[in-house]
Amino acid sequence: MAVPKKKMSKSRRDRRRAHEALGKLHLSACPQCRAMIRPHTVCYNCGMYRGVKYLEIKTDDAKS
């Protein structure tokens, strides 16, 4: 197994990890309900994707 020749200093290690932060989430408005959703995903607010309903969204008034 490959083994590091020298211990990496905390400074070098932390400098590398300075670039590992996750980027900002990209969001776009749902064409049906204008909720902010991730692109190319089913909207979790109205259950629609490209004009087709894929999810039944449970609401309080639907309990009966």
Residues forming contacts to Zn ion in the complex (CB under 5 A) are 30, 32-33, 35, 43, 45-46
Q: In this complex, which beta carbon is closest to Zn ion, that of residue 8 or of residue 31?
A: 31
Nearest to 42 by CA among 63, 59, 33: 33
The minimum distance between CB 22 and Zn ion, in angstroms, equals: 25
The minimum distance between CB 45 and Zn ion, in angstroms, equals: 4
Residues near 53 by beta carbon (within 8 Å), at least 6 away in sequence? 47
